[in-house]
Chains A and B, each alone.
Chain A
């Protein structure tokens, strides 16, 4: 009995020791951390993959006052993404570790051609962080976005990710991570919306700062603005949503968590009032009437009076009711704008009505599933917004000269 146990023990030990140095065992200083990855279409029609790598040693030295950049970007052109990621090993001495990718940037050119080919690798990869944030580089390339330096963070990708988290307080940017995007693409009839980043240049003009920089000075993230959204039809970029349109879209989706909306001061029409939306929700509904789809979006929002310009005491219930009415009208208008855009210009169901239809009216869905987008663009959309203003924040009465 004891002999058997000893033999068993020796066998287990020998297996344990002979399986050492298996392929997964690698030291942390043998891998290069990729924090951001970007995809562009190269001139030769190949995929150009850009990665932003972190150099941990420089990161630590920067804390001690070194000027060396803590990140490094490298681009590689290949026919496939995987090929490019592996191909970079001829330049980078360490294996590219993809588990800490914070951000995925897609260049406009590639986005217009379709993004599914680059997403395939990311979906398959066991190491890929599936909740990395997605961004589309509007009017620019992913390479440029990833090369931009940040004045606030040592790693620009983290700066970008933090900005995307600010979207919660801003309601101007559509946040989307990889796994959600993949799920949406898998749903028939559904189109996606991804946040965008733009290079605005130092003078604030809406054009790339490339020419001004002579290619010498590095781009800075402060010359970029992350807001708005890109609308996709299936996997192809079809158009842009401006920040107000994005907000309308977010209201329609019930994704507004916190946002500032400016409306007219009811006592002083020349002046503006800020409403801080504290909570909002939406309920999209579909129904069939005489075999025709009818869509509706019911939105509710509550907010506080955040700032008041101009005269008047806007703290009474009747004032609040008036403000709420104004606010509802504005939100409805914004939603209407984005609905029109989606129906007429893009013919893309970015709201997910198709999925609702599939669940609630499967028979009808079977008939139209091939050309749901046609049906969607012709269906009437009813928008109903209900808002409440709760309190004027920390005051009872605004201070005004009496």
Chain B
């Protein structure tokens, strides 16, 4: 099985380009059918294409002075705005067209006339091919087919029910904007555009998913973004060939540098202010229709410790927050393992009275500390999973049952000891502090636990070394994962453990623009300050 996986991986990594290139010509060759001139043919074709589509609306109209032009207005109910169609398209077509007086004489310039004089909808365009019109219909547009013309008119009437902009559920903060991304791509783009009012903010829209035709936008700030990274992102995103893109996670898995690593090399956020900040640092954002989670690359290890709130609060508070998050990392990863190692190998390192207390608590428990930790840790993960999956009202019950059964009853019954419950609880609390690293930390915790039970501190040391070897080898879109620590980038340390005051952050992250001459360019601000003095 593993060989097969590796095979697929290698195939995708090395051969994918040729593979998809050979496919592309086929697509281009596929018949680009013109819109038929005969309105009856159009009707027939539409009926064929949208057979059994109950939400498809096809409206036959006769317009012009004496109703001599047959037209078909087609749209999807639910994807379009009734008001716009009624007031902006139907009303003018049926009333205005008669007032203006369109008759046979205008047949040649009919399209032009309708476009320019009759319809009062903001975005109007022409479509030559039938396929194009179908795409437009599916995207929420309204298409007007006119008898005798080889071209159809398309109007932007897109309007569907969507969630309003709300406070994000996942990354809540105390100080800062309350807006979060929503499922609509255009709204998401507008949320970013509102924060960065700059013509250099570019969005390249691609269409992904053979079946779903999902819009995916690659956003970047021209002039700041590293061209190499941008090229890499575009290349990788374009390479994706998949039936469906239902969430940005689909894209994430395809563009990762190391698909087998437990560490995430693509970041995701629900907060427009956070993504805007990342764009301004020179990162690339990937927005996907249908999900509020926006991907940002390159994603570095240090970003798990950075919160958007860090920059809204004063530097002291932010620095304390950073330190707490590093502490949380250590506790989450190593506390259970440390406990097991101390209790089975290194009883000598604890203060005597503490050791006595722990021993008294552990005595009479039939299981080894390792087994206990494993069982309680698993129980906690189950509880967490249940809490996430449960409907909200039942979630309460889960937490009560979990707290009572796991915390008290297990100890009372002599199945688990008090220290283990404390260790598991502390680990659980701290694991939520670093939500981006939640998943890798579960694995690391487990590795460390096994190592601690077999070789004590030495085993833990070995595992930690192994993890570091992996981490320093990891790259996210060409940027070393552990930067700016390894390789050390002095100027970038301003935003790591200690968050420097904003006025002291003189350069943009040089690790992202890792070409030497570019890095020099970013020091411009510092030079300006010197000159002023």
In residues 6-38 of chain B, which contact A (Cβ within 8 Å)?
6, 10
Contact B453 A20 (CB under 8 A): yes
B contact residues around A24 at 8 Å (CB): 345, 456
Q: Classify the interface of chain B: helix, strand, loop or mixed.
A: helix
Does A152 interact with chain B (Cβ within 8 Å)?
no
Contact B363 A33 (CB under 8 A): no
Contact A56 B360 (CB under 8 A): yes
In residues 42-57 of chain A, which contact B (Cβ within 8 Å)?
54, 56-57
Contact B359 A28 (CB under 8 A): yes
Does A247 interact with chain B (Cβ within 8 Å)?
no
**How far is the CB of A87 from the nearest CB of chain B, in Å?**
22
Contact A31 B347 (CB under 8 A): yes
A contacts with B, residue count (CB < 8 A): 29
Contact B343 A28 (CB under 8 A): yes
Contact B355 A100 (CB under 8 A): yes
Does A26 interact with chain B (Cβ within 8 Å)?
yes
B contacts with A, residue count (CB < 8 A): 30
Does B344 interact with chain A (Cβ within 8 Å)?
yes
In residues 440-483 of chain B, which contact A (Cβ within 8 Å)?
450-451, 453-456, 459, 462
Contact A57 B352 (CB under 8 A): no
Q: Assess A100 versus B344: contact at CB under 8 Å? Given A28-B359, A56-B360, A57-B360.
A: no
Contact B454 A17 (CB under 8 A): yes
Does A25 interact with chain B (Cβ within 8 Å)?
yes
Of B2, B355, B364, the contact of A33 (CB 8 Å cutoff): B355
CA separation between A60 and B10, bound complex, in Å? 60
Does A29 interact with chain B (Cβ within 8 Å)?
yes
Contact A27 B344 (CB under 8 A): yes
Contact B363 A16 (CB under 8 A): no
- Bitwise, B315-339 to A at CB < 8 A (1) or not (0) is 0000000000000000000000000
CA separation between A56 and B365, bound complex, in Å? 14
Contact A22 B343 (CB under 8 A): no
Does B358 interact with chain A (Cβ within 8 Å)?
yes
A contact residues around B358 at 8 Å (CB): 28
Q: Assess A25 versus B344: contact at CB under 8 Å? Given A16-B454, A57-B364.
A: yes
A contact residues around B455 at 8 Å (CB): 16, 19, 22
Contact A29 B356 (CB under 8 A): no
CA separation between A28 and B419, bound complex, in Å? 13
Does B141 interact with chain A (Cβ within 8 Å)?
no
Contact A100 B348 (CB under 8 A): yes
Contact B344 A28 (CB under 8 A): yes
Residue among A17, A20, A100 with most chain B CB within 10 A: A100
Does A102 interact with chain B (Cβ within 8 Å)?
yes
**How far is the CB of A302 from the nearest CB of chain B, in Å?**
35
Contact A97 B453 (CB under 8 A): no
Residue among A21, A26, A27, A59 with most chain B CB within 10 A: A27
- Contacts A24-B345, A54-B356 supplied; 14 other A-B pairs, CB < 8 Å: A2-B10, A16-B451, A16-B459, A20-B454, A25-B454, A27-B343, A27-B362, A27-B369, A28-B358, A31-B347, A33-B356, A56-B360, A56-B363, A60-B357
16 pairs, A vs B, C-beta closer than 8 Å = A16-B451, A16-B454, A16-B459, A16-B462, A21-B454, A24-B456, A25-B344, A25-B345, A25-B453, A33-B359, A57-B360, A57-B363, A60-B357, A97-B347, A99-B347, A100-B348
